[in-house]
C-alpha cells in the first residue's frame, strides 16, 4: 500500500497540556480511515496539525511521500490536501451550484486563471453541475443553500471540498446531526464518485465509521491506543474499555 499520509511521532502541547503525544499512523492512497475517540482525544487538533493551522512540537508529516513540515496551509492544499469547509465559508443565500463553483475557483487559484474571467466562471459552473449531478442533487442545483435540508447541505459541503479532486480529504464530523440514512448516503457518494480521494474521517457514530472505513485509528488523551480493521478494533480490549464503554463479554 502506498501511503498518501504518513504521521510519525507527532506531538502538540498547549502550555503544559499534551494534546497529542507520539501520534503515528499512515493513510494509504484511496483508503478510507476512520479516526475515533472520546471528546478531547485530540482528533480536531490532529487535523489542525495536518492541515498546517497548528505547528506540531514534535514529529514529522509526509504527504504523497514528501515532507510538509513547516509548509503553509495553502501549500498543503496545492499538494492535494483538503478538509471539509467550515459552515462560515458557505453562502446561504447563494445556490448549491454557485457555492460549489465558488469553491472550485477558490481552490483552483492559478489553475483556472488561464481560462480568463468569463471562461473560468463557466468552467467552474460546469464542474459544480457535474459534481451535483453525480451526487444525485442535480434537481437542487439552483436551490439556495438556506432552503436545503441539513443533510443536503452536508453533501454540498463535501462537494465543495472535493471540487478539485484532492488526494486526501479530512472530514471532521461531517455526519453530525444527520440521520443514519443521510450519513450512509453522504459516505456512499464520497466513496463511489471520488474513489481516488483518500479519506480521514472523524465521526462519533461508530456504526458509521465501522460500516464505511477500511481501517480505524482510535485515540484517547492525545495518544493512538489502537488501530486495525473495523473487526479488529471492535475486538480490541483496550479500545473497548476506553471508547466503546464495554467491559467485554
Ligand atoms: N487552542 C487550544 N488551546 C488549549 N487547549 C486546546 C486547544 N485546542 C484544543 N485544546 C485541548 O486539547 C484537547 C483535544 O481537543 P480536540 O478538540 O482536538 O479534541 P477532539 O478529539 O476533537 O474532541 P471532540 O470529539 O469533542 O471534537 C482538549 O482537551 C482541548 O481542550
Ligand atoms: Mg473535535
Tell me, using a 6 A CB cutoff, whether residue 203 lines ligand 1. Answer: no
Find the domain containing 51 and state its range: 1-80+166-249
Same domain, 160 and 182: no
Distance of CA 182 to the CA centre of its chain: 17
Alpha helices in 52-179 (DSSP H): 73-78, 96-108, 110-113, 117-134, 150-161
Going from the Cα of 221 to the center of ligand 1, the distance in angstroms, rounded, reads 10
Residue 203 pLDDT: 93
Tell me, using a 6 A CB cutoff, whether residue 53 lines ligand 1. Answer: no
Residues 28-69: pLDDT tens digits?
A: 999 999 999 999 999 999 999 999 999 999 999 999 999 999
Residue 242 lies in a domain: yes
Residue 227 grid coordinates: 488501530
Residues less than 5 Å from ion ligand 2, measured at CB: 43-44
Residue 192 pLDDT: 87
Query: Of the residues 34, 45, 46, 47, which should be mutated to test ligand 1's pocket, given the most ligand atoms within 8 Å of the CB?
Result: 45
Strands (E), 173-234: 198-202, 215-220, 223-228
Same domain, 190 and 143: no
Residue 184 pLDDT: 93
Can you give the CATH number for the domain in which 63 is found?
3.40.50.300
Same domain, 26 and 47: yes
Residue 148 grid coordinates: 436545503
Same domain, 146 and 223: no
Same domain, 39 and 150: no
The ligand 1 atom nearest the CA atom of 222: 14
Q: Is residue 112 predicted with pLDDT exceeding 80?
A: no
Contact of 14 with 26, CB cutoff 8 Å = no
Going from the Cα of 46 to the center of ligand 1, the distance in angstroms, rounded, reads 9
Residue 91 pLDDT: 87
Alpha helices in 109-176 (DSSP H): 110-113, 117-134, 150-161
Q: Please measure the distance between the N-terminal and C-terminal CA atoms of the chain and give it in whole angstroms.
A: 34
**Residue of 152, 47, 49, 56 lying closest to 99 (CA atoms):** 152
Same domain, 132 and 188: no
Residue 9 pLDDT: 98
Residue 88 grid coordinates: 462560515
Q: What is the DSSP-derived secondary structure letter of residue 16?
A: T
Determine how many CB atoms are found less than 10 A away from the CB of residue 198: 23
Q: Where residue 248 falls among pLDDT bands split at 50, 70, 90? A: very low
Going from the Cα of 43 to the center of ligand 1, the distance in angstroms, rounded, reads 8
Average pLDDT score over residue span 147-156: 92
For residues 28-57, one letter each, b for 16 or more C-beta atoms within 10 angstroms of the residue's C-beta and e for the rest, the string is eebbbbbbbbeeebbbbbbbbbbbbebebe
Residue 156 lies in a domain: yes
Domain count, the chain: 2
Domain end among 138, 164, 190: 164
Q: Which of 12-21, 59-68, 106-115 has the lowest mean pLDDT?
A: 106-115
Same domain, 132 and 244: no
Tell me, using a 6 A CB cutoff, whether residue 193 lines ligand 1. Answer: no
Same domain, 189 and 111: no
Nearest CA to ligand 1 atom 24: 39
Residue 72 lies in a domain: yes
34 beta partners: 201, 216
Tell me, using a 6 A CB cutoff, whether residue 14 lines ligand 1. Answer: yes
Q: Where residue 72 falls among pLDDT bands split at 50, 70, 90? A: very high
Q: Is residue 119 predicted with pLDDT exceeding 90?
A: no
Residue 85 lies in a domain: no
Sign of the torsion formed by the C-alpha atoms of 141, 143, 146 and 150: negative
Going from the Cα of 241 to the center of ligand 2, the distance in angstroms, rounded, reads 20
Tell me, using a 6 A CB cutoff, whether residue 12 lines ligand 1. Answer: no
Of residues 188 and 85, more confidently modeled: 188
Nearest ligand to residue 36 Cα: 1
Same domain, 56 and 5: yes
Cβ contacts of 187 within 8 Å, gap of 6 or more:
175, 201, 208, 212
Amino acid at each position: 500500500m502506498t501511503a498518501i499520509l504518513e504521521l510519525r511521532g507527532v506531538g502538540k502541547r498547549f502550555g503544559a497540556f499534551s494534546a497529542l503525544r507520539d501520534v503515528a499512523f499512515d493513510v494509504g492512497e484511496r483508503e478510507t480511515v476512520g479516526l475515533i475517540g472520546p471528546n478531547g482525544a485530540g482528533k480536531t487538533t490532529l487535523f489542525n496539525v495536518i492541515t498546517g493551522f497548528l505547528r506540531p512540537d514534535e514529529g514529522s508529516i509526509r504527504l504523497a511521500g514528501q515532507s510538509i513540515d513547516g509548509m503553509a496551509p495553502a501549500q498543503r492544499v496545492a499538494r492535494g490536501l483538503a478538509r471539509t469547509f467550515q459552515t462560515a465559508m458557505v453562502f446561504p443565500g447563494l445556490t448549491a451550484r454557485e457555492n460549489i463553483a465558488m469553491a472550485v475557483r477558490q481552490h483552483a487559484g492559478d489553475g483556472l486563471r488561464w481560462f480568463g474571467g468569463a471562461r473560468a466562471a463557466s468552467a467552474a459552473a460546469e464542474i459544480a453541475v457535474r459534481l451535483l449531478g453525480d451526487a444525485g442533487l442535480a434537481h437542487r442545483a439552483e436551490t439556495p443553500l438556506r432552503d436545503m435540508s441539513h443533510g443536503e447541505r452536508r453533501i454540498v459541503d463535501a462537494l465543495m471540498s472535493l471540487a478539485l479532486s484532492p488526494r486526501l480529504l479530512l472530514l471532521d464530523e461531517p455526519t453530525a446531526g444527520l440521520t443514519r440514512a443521510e450519513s450512509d448516503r453522504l459516505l456512499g457518494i464520497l466513496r463511489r464518485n471520488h474513489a481516488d480521494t483518500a479519506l480521514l474521517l472523524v465521526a462519533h457514530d461508530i456504526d458509521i465509521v465501522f460500516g464505511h472505513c477500511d481501517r480505524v485509528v482510535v485515540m484517547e488523551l492525545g495518544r493512538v491506543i489502537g488501530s486495525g480493521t473495523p473487526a479488529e478494533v471492535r475486538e480490541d480490549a483496550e479500545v473497548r474499555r476506553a471508547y466503546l464503554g464495554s467491559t467485554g463479554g
